[in-house]
């Protein structure tokens, strides 16, 4: 079953295509929890759930009642008619982790329909789940933002770092780039070596570093130290415009 958490039309706030008008589809479910990021969301029963800044699209136990089950590809395609969109606007598939549905026939049909209509598709993925580019060649027409999780996520390395998956995606995708979430406390814990061990699997793929943030306040606290880190190491700094402009609001 595919679960859609939300959809919204905004600008891309992160990474290589920052500022690009984009229609976002946020899918529910993830193969990681990333409790190390420390972002908090209150469930309807009052439980405080800790994880990434989109924990409401990750934690099935507490937020499934807000997720929309999708049974037909037309249900996803009909979302496009709800907005006044430029022709062939960029489509961003995020989560959660959208690639948990990578081999679902309905999901693949959705991608094929979008490509046929001329849309550029960007996956925002943790880069740990394999994609079958030969069986489903539509993925070769997609862009992949590889947000590989670092040790500050709290996830074990054997779960978050899959060199074979990284290489396969970067080698077959239309475009790919690394996107790392870093807070000021993590900058001095050998992140350079950790990032180098990840990018070794695709050394020509560009690196973007963005501040860990669940709110504008956290974003501002982590921005300047991260900029200095990027300047020292030669990485690209990526702002998180949606948080800087709209703070912790959803659907932006």
The whole-number pLDDT of residue 190 equals: 66
Q: Is residue 87 domain-resident? A: yes
The whole-number pLDDT of residue 252 equals: 65
Whether the bond into 96 is cis, omega within 30 of 0:
yes
Q: Is residue 239 domain-resident? A: no
Query: Which residue has 């037909």 as its token pair?
Result: 72
Q: Are 186 and 222 in contact (CB under 8 A)?
A: no
Q: Is residue 170 domain-resident? A: yes
Rounded Cα–Cα distance for residues 58 and 67 (Å)? 10
The whole-number pLDDT of residue 193 equals: 85
Number of domains in the chain: 1
Q: Is residue 157 domain-resident? A: yes
Tokens (6 digits) for 195: 């990032």
- Classify residue 65 by burial, with Cβ atoms within 10 Å: 0-12, 13-18, 19+: exposed
Q: Is residue 57 domain-resident? A: yes
C-alpha dist (Å) from residue 224 to 98, 120, 142, 147, 245: 31, 32, 32, 21, 17
pLDDT (mean) for 47-54: 92
Reported as a pLDDT band with limits 50, 70 and 90, residue 212 is confident
Whether the predicted pLDDT of 31 surpasses 90: yes
Rounded Cα–Cα distance for residues 8 and 180 (Å)? 23
The whole-number pLDDT of residue 188 equals: 67
The whole-number pLDDT of residue 182 equals: 87
Q: Is residue 73 domain-resident? A: yes
Whether the predicted pLDDT of 250 surpasses 80: no
Q: Is residue 149 domain-resident? A: yes
- Classify residue 215 by burial, with Cβ atoms within 10 Å: 0-12, 13-18, 19+: middle
The whole-number pLDDT of residue 171 equals: 97
H/E segment holding residue 145: strand 143-146
For residue 132, give its domain range. Answer: 2-181
Q: Output the average pLDDT for the chain.
A: 94
The whole-number pLDDT of residue 186 equals: 80
H/E segment holding residue 216: helix 216-233
Q: Is the pTM of this model over 0.85?
A: yes
State the angle between helix axes of 216-233 and 191-199 in degrees (0 to 180), rounded to the nearest 10: 70
Whether the bond into 7 is cis, omega within 30 of 0:
no
Please give the distance of CA 97 from its chain centroid, rounded to a whole number.
7
Q: Is residue 218 domain-resident? A: no
Q: What percent of the chain has pLDDT over 90?
A: 84
Taking only the tens place, the pLDDT of each residue in 87-133 is 999 999 999 999 999 999 999 999 999 999 999 999 999 999 999 99
Rounded Cα–Cα distance for residues 177 and 204 (Å)? 9
Integer-rounded Cα radius of gyration of the chain: 17
Taking only the tens place, the pLDDT of each residue in 62-73 is 999 999 999 999
CATH of the domain at 66: 3.20.20.70
Taking only the tens place, the pLDDT of each residue in 154-199 is 999 999 999 999 999 999 999 999 999 888 888 766 677 889 899 9
């Amino acid at each position: 079953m595919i679960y859609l958490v939300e959809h919204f039309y905004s600008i891309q706030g992160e990474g290589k295509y920052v500022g690009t008008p984009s229609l976002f589809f946020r899918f529910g479910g993830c193969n990681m929890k990333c409790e190390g990021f420390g972002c908090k969301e209150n469930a309807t029963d009052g439980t405080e759930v800790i994880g990434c800044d989109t924990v409401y699209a990750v934690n099935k136990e507490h937020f499934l009642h807000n997720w929309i089950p999708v049974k037909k590809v037309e249900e996803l395609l009909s979302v496009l008619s709800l907005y006044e969109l430029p022709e062939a606007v960029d489509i961003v598939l995020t989560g959660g982790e959208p690639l948990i549905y990578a081999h679902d026939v309905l999901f693949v049909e959705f991608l094929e329909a979008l490509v046929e209509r001329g849309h550029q598709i960007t996956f925002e993925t943790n880069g740990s789940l394999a994609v079958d580019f030969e069986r489903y060649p539509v993925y070769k027409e997609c862009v992949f933002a590889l947000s590989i999780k670092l040790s500050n996520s709290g996830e074990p390395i054997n779960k978050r770092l899959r060199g074979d998956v990284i290489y396969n995606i970067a080698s077959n995708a239309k475009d790919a780039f690394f996107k790392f979430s870093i807070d000021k406390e993590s900058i001095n814990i050998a992140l350079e070596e950790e990032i180098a061990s990840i990018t070794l699997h695709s050394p020509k793929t560009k690196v973007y570093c963005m501040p860990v943030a669940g709110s504008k306040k956290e974003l501002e606290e982590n921005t300047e130290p991260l900029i200095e880190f990027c300047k020292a190491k030669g990485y690209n700094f990526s702002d998180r415009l949606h948080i800087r402009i709209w703070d912790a609001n959803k659907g932006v």
